[in-house]
Structure 1
Amino acid sequence: MSVTGLRGAILEAVEELSPRMVDVLREFVRIPTVNPPGEHYEKFVGYMGDLLDGLGYEVEVLRVPEERLPELAPHGGGRPRPNLVARLPGDREGGSIHLNGHYDVVPAGSDWRHDPFGGELEDGRVYGRGAADQKSGLACQIFAVEALRRAGLDVGGRIVQSAVPDEETVGNRNAGMGFLVERGVIGAEDTDAVIITEPFGPEGIGLGHKGAIWCEITFFGRKAHGSAPMLGLNAVELAARFVSRVEEDLKPRLSQRRSSLAVTPAEAVCATLSFDTVQGGTATNTVPDRCRLTFNRRLVPQERLEEAREEILSLLEAFAGETGIRYDYRETYATEPVIIPEDEPLVRVARQAVRSLGMEPRLLISAGSDDQRFVVHGAGIENCIVYGPGRTALSHIADEYVEVEDLVAATKVLALILCGYLEAGEGDDHAG
């Protein structure tokens, strides 16, 4: 079959498969895999595993050992953490292309017009928590491969699919993608390429994400009766003064640091720091002796963790010297920025595939971190992109949805990416 004929057959196959793909996505959404704490994980993995088994995959479920759950899933309350790994059998030598998505979703929250776990189809949209982020990505990756097979392309021995938990609760290590990399399921010695189907939209190609520091700062003051505050050291008031210091000193400098690559969402192009929670005090007639703040620092690609850490610590040290307050600084999560080169084989093929459907490809990084960090920093695989049908702006909102049109378009693009990569023999040097 000619290249033109194969391409046409793939696109036709996606169209034929699209009603079933939408049905599968709706069933995915109806399983409320809410994290934290991690509900209905086994049910989802069982459903998706049966689906892939019926499509001819060799299916394996890798569960985090119970004794490691407190370490890798600290927000899970001991609930199981199953990872689904499915391989298309074949005797082709060389590395595989690994397609990955996470199946956990954030809590639904309030103000929904649609049932957050109803998988409702209305006006060309599938509604529900996870519809955009990222159960549509999981449906997309399954049916992109099916379109290749239906079009007659032999992909046996080269395709691996995985669905993992706990992306939404991040972590320096975690029970999902981090666990698979740690176990060697994804490794540079036998994986040529990785595509993570997070929501970047049909024209978006993810080359990385911002770095991050999540931190708790606890200020320790001195208690006193509320009628004689001068006898105490008010931790809440001093914490507020420190927040003001950061607003005046550090945030203006961060606003001058801009990513050289486009960011999704576009408004997040600069380095940022946000104080997000505050806890302090016990009663209105007692001077509080402690106050805990948490902040979320996001690094643009040219920044480094150690330098960002030192910026905040130097401000803290100077503030403590001026006020006499003691503090404790504890990071709960930290990652360097991720950025892959634009000349990686997957990037080249993805740009061509997007253009072939009349869209202009957008090379982006994400404002939030994702599982790409485990692949690039942990497994050492730079040939890794993020590409999925959902749109970032629709993630985590009330009435989250994905356009069926976007789902179908992205599945066509993903199928063409896989076809172009395999037909061009990308990765053969690695396999050799």
Structure 2
Amino acid sequence: GVAYLAERGRIAKGRTSAVIIPEPLNVDRICIGHRGVYWFEVTARGRIAHGSMPFLGVSAIDGASRLLQIARDELMPKLAARRTAMPVAPPGACHATLNVNGIEGGQRVDGIQTPCVADLCRVVFDRRFLLEEGFDATRAEVEDLVRRAREASPGVQFELRDLMVVHPVRTPDDSPLIAALQSSIHRVLGRAPSLVASPGTYDHKHVARIAGVPHCVAYGPGELELAHQPDEYCRIEDIINATKVIALAILALM
């Protein structure tokens, strides 16, 4: 994909003047960047025992439950109080967030009896951090979360593993690429566009971090609120208008 092209110099500063990435962010909006992403996994390890004598074991699931409780009751309210100056859409995504993407522990298969105290439980988290927070502070906060869960769970060992890190990016508002798109959107749609930032991440990170190209935005048809949903769609009219907008912007930059 884009990372492959950037790593091999096909997209590069001095070779590429600007990049427009088609993304479903509505045809009257220009996306100038995105929040940061930190996916991580916490593994809790207890001690197995027969399920009829749980007092002889240490439940990894109980340890993971304490981790989740501390995250929900203490960390998440702190994140909700933080707000970025970036124009992230929708408004709820202007805050730092933490989501539990998945949890696995104990009996895995229905119908197969495993009368045991769970000695292993894994939890995968999705932390979206703000440009103002930075990754180092974000990870330190997660390390503190794991430390507190360890202190509250005697006999349970916790291991933190990084899965993915994406740093926030933002294209300056005075970029000539943004100006060209603003003009072409006004010409095609008859109204001024708004500048937004994406709640998720997209290929902008590769263009900025690997290729070093400063002028990059996302623009295209489709509704952001429908992203990753089973009924995601684009209106034909929006596809046509977005095509016109991109073509006019490219001509203006040539």
TM-score by length of 1: 0.55
Partner of 1:351: 182
- Structure 1 ranges of 4+ moved more than 4 A: none
TM superposition shift of 1:395: 2.5
Structure-2 residue corresponding to 1:272: 97
**Of 192, 196, 205, which aligns to 1:360?**
192
Distance 2:14 2:251 in 1: 22
- State which of 201, 205, 214 in structure 2 corresponds to 1:369: 201
SS at match of 1:250: helix
Distance 2:33 2:63 in 1: 37
Partner of 2:172: 341
Q: 1:385 aligns with which of 202, 213, 217?
A: 217
Distance (whole Å) between structure 2 residues aligned to residue 253 and residue 300 of structure 1: 13
In structure 1, distance between residues paired with 2:29 and 2:53: 59
- CA deviations on 1:350-397 (whole Å, 9 max, x unpaired) are 122222331221111111111110001111111111111122222222
Corresponding residue of 2:110: none
Residue 399 of structure 1 and its aligned partner are, at CA, apart by 2.6
Listed one character per residue, the Cα deviations across residues 280-312 of structure 1 (whole Å, up to 9, x for unaligned) are: 113552111110000100112212111111101
Post-superposition offset of 1:321:
2.8
8 Å CA contact 1:235–1:289 kept in 2: the answer is yes
Instruction: Name the residue aligned to 1:193.
Output: 18
Identity of aligned residues (%): 37
Cα distance in 1, alignment partners of residues 231 and 87 from structure 2: 27
Q: Give 1:186's aligned amino acid.
A: I
Secondary structure of the residue aligned to 1:287 is coil
Aligned-pair distance for 1:270? 1.1
SS at match of 1:215: strand
Structure 2, gaps ≥5 residues long = 108-112
1:250 to 72, 75, 85: 75
Inter-partner Cα distance in structure 2 for 1:263 and 1:178: 24
Residue 246 of structure 2 is matched in structure 1 by 414
Q: In structure 2, what residue type is equivalent to 1:295?
A: F
Equivalent residue letter for 1:204: R
Measured in 2, the distance between the counterparts of 1:263 and 1:191 equals: 26
Q: CA deviation at 1:266?
A: 3.4
1:239–1:291 CA contact under 8 A, matched in 2: yes
Larger relative contact order, structure 1 or 2 (CA cutoff 8 Å, min sep 6): 2
CA distance in 1: counterparts of 2:215 and 2:135, whole angstroms: 23
Counterparts of 1:50-89 in structure 2 under 5 Å? none
Q: Secondary structure at the match of 1:278?
A: strand
The 5 A counterparts of 1:288-307 are 288-307=118-137
SS at match of 1:412: helix
Secondary structure of the residue that 2:220 maps to in structure 1? Answer: coil
1:188 touches 1:380 (CA, 8 Å); kept in 2? Answer: yes
1:232 shift after superposition:
1.2
| Distance change (3 Å), C-alpha of 1:403 and 1:330 | same
SS in 1 for 2:165: strand
Indicate how the Cα distance of structure 1 residues 398 and 319 shifts in structure 2: closer, same or farther if over 3 A, else same: closer
Matched, 1:180 2:180: no
Post-superposition offset of 1:262: 2.4
Question: Hey, what does 1:240 align to over in structure 2?
Answer: 65
Can you list the C-alpha shifts for 1:111-149, whole angstroms capped at 9, x where unaligned?
Answer: xxxxxxxxxxxxxxxxxxxxxxxxxxxxxxxxxxxxxxx
Choose from 310, 314, 317 the match for 2:144.
Answer: 314
Say if 2:180 and 2:253, in contact at 8 Å, map to a contact too: yes
Rounded to whole Å, the distance in 2 between the matches of 1:364 and 1:328 is 37
Aligned residue among 390, 399, 414 for 2:231: 399
1:38-62 deviation digits (Å, cap 9, x = unpaired) = xxxxxxxxxxxxxxxxxxxxxxxxx
How far does the alpha carbon of each residue in 1:70-111 deviate from its partner, in whole angstroms, 9 at most, with x for none?
xxxxxxxxxxxxxxxxxxxxxxxxxxxxxxxxxxxxxxxxxx
Distance 2:152 2:127 in 1: 24
RMSD in angstroms over aligned alpha carbons? 1.4
Q: After superposition, what is the alpha-carbon deviation per residue over 1:203-240, rounded to whole angstroms, capped at 9, x for unaligned?
A: 11011111101111110111112222222111001101
| Uncovered stretches (5+) of structure 1, i.e. residues with no partner | 1-175, 423-432
Residues of 2 paired with 1:273 and 1:344: CA distance?
Answer: 32
Decide whether the 8 Å contact of 2:146 with 2:160 is kept in 1: no
Structure 1, 397-406 or 261-270: larger mean CA deviation: 261-270
